[in-house]
Structure 1
Amino acid sequence: MGGHHKKNLRAEKAKVKLKGAKLPKGLNVTKTDFKVRKIEIREQLKETSYTESGQRQLNLKETLSRLKHHSFKFRTDAMRNVRESVKSGQADHLIGHLNELFQGIAAGALDMEHSVRQESFKTLDVLLEVLHPQAVAPFFHVISTYLKCAMTHIHPTIQEDSLLMLDVLMLRVPPSLLAQRSASTIVGNFIDMISRSRHDNEKSNRSLTMNLGHGKQTTVKWRTKVLLRLQQILATLAQHSAKTASTKYPVHVVHFDENRANYYGLLSPYAQDTRDLYAILHEPKLSAEGAQLQTYVEQLMPLLHDSWLEVRPQQQQPLLPPDASASLYVVVNLISQLWTLINQHEAANSTNELSLWLRQNHSKKFLKNFLEQDGSRFPYQQMPHTQAKGKKLAKEKGPADGGEQCLPQNMAIVQIACQFYPDPSEKQATVFAHLVQYVNETLKQLEKLTPEHQLPLVAALRSLLLDNSLALHNLIPEQLTSLLDASMLAYVEQRYATREGVSTKMLSLLCEIVQQTELYKRFGGEERFALFLGYLPELLLKPTVAEGTLRAMATLCRQMNAIFMSALVQSSADILLHLSQLQVTGNAQGEDKFENQKRILNLFYYARTCDTKNQLKKALRQLAKQQKNDKDEDDSPSNEQIFRYLQSVLAFD
């Protein structure tokens, strides 16, 4: 073999070697200044079913087949193809195959590959967005079945991603469909995600799961994420229940017309006893809906208390870590949602069994765990955020940030305390005095609060000043009266935000207080409410006025409230000139514009008793002059109509 090698070397040396000429300097450079343009032959794209991006467009048969393919890449491509077809408006051919389509897409929620699950949720989101709810309803059981399987899956990552699928459904599916079809089962699956059944003799039938196996995610964070979605589901149930109750008894309004015969129904078709036999005989028996609601409360309340006790700091450390603050936010909102559902159920069924049962079993635990009997743990505050340099915080879906003051959490605790103790005793006087003092201190910093933080503040004021006011006035009259004064002063000084309807909600609260005769007298009557009553007529000079505000004004006039009527007379000239432009909001009866303006003009029938300087006659003359100068629009009530109606009102005896 060695000889052959030497022979080959000699043959290589014997070959003729050509020496190439070297290029001169400047030419041995690669040119990069040439231009390239993409060539598109659109006719060929149409004929061969290719997209403009160069990808092959799958037909319907291939798409449905690839959704069930064993390769995750084929499944991902099929879902992406469906999504692009829907976005481009070329999904008409999919309408007749929604069952197979939902089967294939929803099955991606159980896929072991994370990318397939993500594509499944994106495609489901796009598809549900364009489809009408009536088209989705026949196939919703398919989607909900895969959701339930994903929520109870043995693989932790699939369980975690099932929350993303639920987010899509809550965003795209109407609350009524979600509440009617799957809410009860989904709530049960949520409970299974964070707890397990007990088989011992403990009072609680479930205990929190400690080792979840969710990788780097802590147990507290995982539990908070689950409870947050559970809160949203309960909010969906409450929204559906409220909508059902509002449409149960439609209102039929008949206006008197002097030019024709008027007929009025004297017997209401809805005045019938819808109670069951147990309610008529005053025997304790919950309906099926009430029993299911009681089951929710029995399972959830111990878990919520345990979740809070697990993260609650020790007495010597008053500040909450961020995880504990987020957990507190979700826990107190869940308890509030449970109370909302119970109140709606009891209002619809004329019963109070559930609320009595809940107070009897959980009021003391709530007071001990959240307020420490004497309110020493309240209010809660959060530790300042600390962030290492160069490290970005992960953006995850979580509860709304209450800030370092934990204002939404604290205000929710105030409302829940009022729910658990509607008639507090002397033992709870210290606690409620502490709560009222905290709300009063918060009112002093009202300008610094965002509209989102002012909303829970107004809700807490409603619980203290309206719902529980009579009972609290017997215990802590001075503190409660001081809170009312601060609330009215803040409204008159326009310190409540107009965004998110905060100012309107506060006005509605004050008007409801004024309309309750006993409460109005307890707080001090005209002397206490003089500032607010004098400011109230100025609301008629704004572009809009709420329906509830008009009702409160009518009540004050019927009560012959001298302060309000005097202020109304003083502003009468400006009110009458502005009346043609005023709009009434929140009117469910659908009255026309002039009918609403008649209600305002009727106020002057009572207010004329306070007209000692003939200001109403002067205002009427100014309105007559304005009537001659203005040209009225055809679709709005004219100043002439307003003038004639007010003239008849003032002349009526």
Structure 2
Amino acid sequence: MPQTGATRYQKFLKSEKSKTKLKAKKDLPKGTNVTKTNFKVKKIVIKEQLKKHGESEALSTRKLNAKELLSRLNHFNTHSRRDALEGIKELITSHPDVLEQNLGKFILGVTPLLMNVEKVVQREAIKALHLILSNVTVEKIEPFFDIMSTYLRSAMTHIDNRIQEDSLMALDVLLVCTPQKVAKDFHKILPNFLDMISKLRVDSKPGRTLTVNLGSQITTVKWRVKVLHRLQDFLRKFVEYHNINDNGKPKETTAYYFDDTKINHYNLLNPNYISVCQLSCFSSINLQDVLQIDEMDKFKEYMETLMPLLFETWLEVCPNVLSSEKNIEAVVTEDAAVLLRHTLEVIDMLWKLVQHFDKKSPSSKIQSLFCQKYKQPFNQHFVNAFPFVTNVRSRQTKSDNSVFEDTITDPKLIAENLEICHLFIMLNPNVNIKSQNREISSVLNYIEKTFNQNTQDNISDVVINILHTIFSKEITSWTKTVSVMDALFRKIIWAYFNKDMPGSVKQKIFTLLCKIALNDKLGHFHRSDTYEKWLINLPDILLEDSITVQTVDIIHKFAACNTKTFNTVVKPKLLKIIMNLPTLTISDATNDVNSYHKLFSILYWVKNWDCESLNLLEQQLLNNVYKSDHGKYIFDTLRMKSGGIL
């Protein structure tokens, strides 16, 4: 039976009564519902905002001085920190004196932002640091470099992959602006490179194993390329810092010339030592914390850790070449080709350091140990699949061409393959001709083929550098007999007589051949018919329009050491040499008087002058064909000859 309206209403009342009752509204008493206006007002004054900037004070475009910008570097807001960094760059650019006064404060404020999680702030901090270091001398940075090095190493091993990647950009800045200081911290920074691509094994297996870059936006191969590229540059700066690759050349010094036509000013003291440097209590280096370490033992440790990692890195990307396909070129990807380049460069830098420490401490025999331990893995991983080629992808050129952008332009990888040849020769000084005949043939044939077909000067320089390594002062299995190097030796001499050969390459070949001529231990090469033909044409280099300082040095040394041979080949062409001598220039010695004097002193070693040549030289001196100092030097040189001609 349907419910009536009264029944529904009763149920509604019943439900309302069962609900929780709220207190009834009470009205305020009369007279209390009035707004009170008897409160007091007091001004809020911030004194710092009332300060007015001086008319001559350096300000950014937002009217902020250095102190205000430094305080905003610690602001919680990302945009405020970025704007502060941009303001600091503006001050440095427009007011260089501000940088001198606040150098320590700027470095202490900017450097911690290298570890900022915000990419925008981190990149701006790197740019600001680059601008700071580019506008001051290295001596003024020295008190603060320990701080920069500490933050750099912390960023390189940071748990966040993004900070690790950007730390390489900060390292680029330090390598460009302060290479000497980075090289000094070699033993502090190098272990961080190992941590970026590897991790320690478990206790039962000593050593390191490669890590996979899972949490990053770039592939593992590209990440290793970035790290190895920086490691290569880092090792190169260390090599340059210790003058390891100077090949016995004297260290260049700045020469000051006295000009008698004006007043000359010379500093008695280094300006950097008498200038004021603002330091804080946190910026100076504590000399008590500097630990004395054994460089040899530490380098051995790094070498034994790094070399297996390099082999493993290449093993993961190299193609699997069957024994039946060893004579075929191995095709690798472009990323693998870039990795190959930097892996070989790192091994080459390690080899130079091995040679350095072997000369420094011969008793360690580190060079022979290095060859014995790593020649077999190198042959297995690099030489067996040699030579390598790749397919170069076509790409659009980027607007921001980075110096550290890794690209492959040569699909034949000639430079990389020649580096493999070079390292194979250096790691195998006592090569076994019978058991390693295939490797020797492939390496020498590739060098010969490249030198014949190449038209680029840089590739020719690499080939000649390899030949300098082979024909070194010490006799190895490569030069013990003529049989191994005879074909390549002949090719080099015939290339010297090639009229299409560039003059610069020709002079480098001349230097190499003179080096062989001056080495008595290579006498079995002197009996070659091609060598004798070159020896007859040796004076032709003095008939060129220009020569290099290195060529002058080698000719002078040849004339002094092999006087008899020198006179034999020079006498028939002495007249032509005298005729060309006034116009002969030294291309890389614009203001080097000593090189010209060394060139003219070659005349001292000429015996029994013929009348025609002597009369021509005398006529040239009388007619002032030479410069005043050159002519005087030639006259004094000939007058000094015992039993002279004058």
Shared fold per TM-score greater than 0.5 = yes
Secondary structure of the residue aligned to 1:56 is coil
Corresponding residue for residue 604 of structure 1: 606
| Residues 624, 643 of structure 1: 8 Å contact kept | no
SS in 2 for 1:466: coil
CA–CA distance in structure 2, aligned partners of residues 245 and 482 of structure 1? 31
The 5-angstrom pairing of residues 224-243 of structure 1 reads 224-242=225-243
Match of 1:488 in 2: 493
Q: Deviations over 1:594-625 (max 9, x none)?
A: 742453112213xx4xxxxx7x3211111222
1:484 Cα offset (Å): 1.3
Q: Aligned pair in 2 of structure 1 residues 532, 469: CA closer, same or farther (>3 Å)? A: farther
Q: Distance in 2 between matches of 1:405 and 1:306?
A: 24
Instruction: Tell me the residue number matched to 1:620.
Output: 614
Q: Which moved more, 1:533-542 or 1:298-307?
A: 533-542
Do the aligned partners of 1:363 and 1:421 also contact (CA within 8 Å) in 2?
Answer: yes
Q: Which residue of 1 aligns with 2:224?
A: 223
Q: CA deviation at 1:311?
A: 0.2
For residue 532 of structure 1, what is the amino acid of its counterpart? Answer: W
Deviation for aligned residue 1:467:
6.5
Please, which of 102, 109, 127 is the counterpart of residue 107 of structure 2?
Answer: 102
1:163 correspondence with 2:168? yes
Of the structure 1 ranges 641-650 and 457-466, higher mean CA displacement relative to structure 2 is found in 641-650
In the alignment, the residues of structure 1 paired with residue 407 and residue 475 of structure 2 have an alpha-carbon distance, to the nearest angstrom, of 30
Q: Helix, strand or coil for the counterpart of 2:295?
A: helix
Relative to the length of structure 2, the TM-score reads 0.76
| Aligned mates of 1:536, 1:176 — CA distance in 2 | 43
Counterpart check, 1:411 vs 2:403: no
**Superimposed CA distance per residue, residues 404-432 of structure 1 (whole angstroms, 9 cap, x where no aligned partner):** 11112111111211222111123223311
Is 1:344 matched up with 2:346? no
Q: Shift of the alpha carbon at 1:238?
A: 1.0
CA distance in 1, matches of 2:596, 2:468: 33
Paired amino acid for 2:180: S
- In the alignment, the residues of structure 1 paired with residue 164 and residue 364 of structure 2 have an alpha-carbon distance, to the nearest angstrom, of 38
Residue by residue over 1:499-523, the C-alpha shift from the partner in whole angstroms, topping out at 9 and shown as x without a partner, is xx7555443322211110121x221
1:442 alignment counterpart: 450
Q: Which residue in the other structure is 1:646 paired with?
A: 638
Q: 1:628 to 1:560 in 2, by over 3 A?
A: closer
Partners of 2:251 and 2:220 lie apart in 1 by: 48
- Hey, what does 1:112 align to over in structure 2? 117
1:176 is aligned to: 180
Q: CA separation in 2, counterparts of 1:62 and 1:355?
A: 57
Matches within 5 A, 1:124-523: 124-173=129-178, 175-180=179-184, 182-202=185-205, 205-215=207-217, 217-242=218-243, 288-315=294-321, 318-351=330-363, 353-372=365-384, 377-382=385-390, 384-387=391-394, 397-399=404-406, 401=408, 403-425=410-432, 426-447=434-455, 450-466=456-472, 470-474=476-480, 477-493=482-498, 505-519=508-522, 521-523=523-525
User: How far did residue 400 of structure 1 move?
Assistant: 6.1
Structure 2 Cα separation of the partners of residues 551 and 127 of structure 1: 45
**Structure 1 contact 437–479 (Cα < 8 Å) conserved:** no
CA 1:399/1:102 → structure 2, altered by over 3 Å: closer, same or farther?
A: same
Deviation at 1:46, TM superposition (A): 9.6
SS of the residue aligned with 2:392? coil
Question: How many angstroms apart in 2 are the aligned matches of 1:149 and 1:224?
Answer: 21
The alpha carbon displacement at 1:575 in A equals 2.7
1:586: Cα distance to partner?
8.5
Paired with 2:563 and 2:487, the residues of 1 have a C-alpha distance of 26
Contact map agreement 2:183 2:238 (CA 8 A) in 1: yes
Aligned counterparts of 1:239 and 1:102: Cα–Cα separation in 2:
26
Asked if 2 retains the 8 angstrom alpha-carbon contact of 1:402 and 1:409, the reply is: no
Output the amino acid matched with 2:389: Q
Cα pair 2:548 2:587 within 8 Å, conserved: yes
* Aligned counterpart in structure 2 of residue 74 of structure 1, from 80, 85, 91: 80
Q: Can you give the 5+ residue segments of structure 2 that lack an aligned partner in the other structure?
A: 1-52, 253-292, 323-328
Check conservation: 2:134, 2:177, Cα contact below 8 A: yes
Q: What is the CA deviation profile of residues 50-87 of structure 1, one whole-angstrom value per residue up to 9, with x for unaligned ones?
A: 98xx9323212112111222222122122212212222
1:367 partner letter: N
- One-letter code aligned to 1:642: I
Larger mean Cα displacement after TM superposition, 573-582 or 510-519: 573-582
Summarize deviations over 1:24-69 as a string: whole Å, max 9, x none: xxxxxxxxxxxxxxxxxxxxx9959898xx9323212112111222
Task: Tell me: CA distance 1:199–1:483, structure 2 relative to 1, closer, same or farther (3 Å).
Answer: same
For residues 391 and 597 of structure 1, the distance between their equivalents in structure 2, rounded to whole angstroms, comes to: 48
Question: 1:245/1:453 Cα in 2 relative to 1: closer, same or farther (>3 Å)?
Answer: closer
Shift of 1:583: 5.8
Deviation of the 1:241 alpha carbon: 1.6
CA-CA distance at 1:161 after TM superposition? 0.6
Matched residues in 1 for 2:408 and 2:638: separation? 52
Secondary structure of the corresponding residue to residue 243 of structure 2: helix
1:123 aligns with 2:124: no
Cα shift at 1:631: 6.5
Counterpart CA distance in 2 for 1:399 and 1:295 is 29
| CA distance in 2 between partners of 1:357 and 1:455 (Å) | 29
Q: Distance in 2 between matches of 1:149 and 1:641?
A: 61
Alignment deviations for residues 82-104 of structure 1 (CA, whole Å, 9 cap, x no partner): 2122222x131332322221021
The Cα offsets for residues 553-587 of structure 1, whole Å up to 9 and x where unpaired, read as 5435643554x534422332243344456566889
1:637 is aligned to 2:640: no
Tell me if the contact between 2:496 and 2:510 (Cα under 8 Å) persists in the aligned partners. Answer: yes
Deviation at 1:196, TM superposition (A): 0.3
Q: Judge which range, 336-345 or 537-546, deviates more.
A: 537-546
**More displaced stretch, 401-410 vs 450-459:** 450-459
Shift of 1:434: 1.7
Structure 2 CA distance for aligned equivalents of residues 491 and 157 of structure 1: 53
SS of 2:74 mapped into structure 1: coil
Query: Residue in 1 aligned with 2:66?
Result: 60
User: Does structure 2 conserve the Cα–Cα contact (< 8 Å) formed by 1:220 and 1:323?
Assistant: yes
SS of residue matched to 1:472: coil
SS at 1:422 equivalent: coil
Deviations 1:470-526 (A, max 9, x none): 412457x4451111121222234366656xx7555443322211110121x221436
Distance in 2 between residues matched to 1:69 and 1:358, nearest whole Å: 53
Query: What SS class does the counterpart of residue 199 from structure 2 fall into?
Result: strand
- CA distance in 2 between partners of 1:154 and 1:160 (Å): 11
3-state SS in 2 of match to 1:311: coil
- Quick one: percent identity of the two aligned structures? 26
Partner SS state of residue 444, structure 1: helix
| Structure 1 residue corresponding to 2:98, chosen from 90, 93, 96 | 93
| Partners of 2:546 and 2:585 within 8 A in 1 | yes
Q: 1:594 to 1:548 in 2, by over 3 A?
A: closer
Query: Which residue does the alignment assign to 1:271?
Result: none
How many Å separate the matches in 2 of 1:471 and 1:438?
19
Distance 1:395 1:591, change over 3 A: closer
Distance 1:496 1:57, change over 3 A: farther
The corresponding residue for 1:39 is none
Q: Is the 8 A contact 1:497 1:503 kept in 2?
A: yes
TM-score (norm 1): 0.75
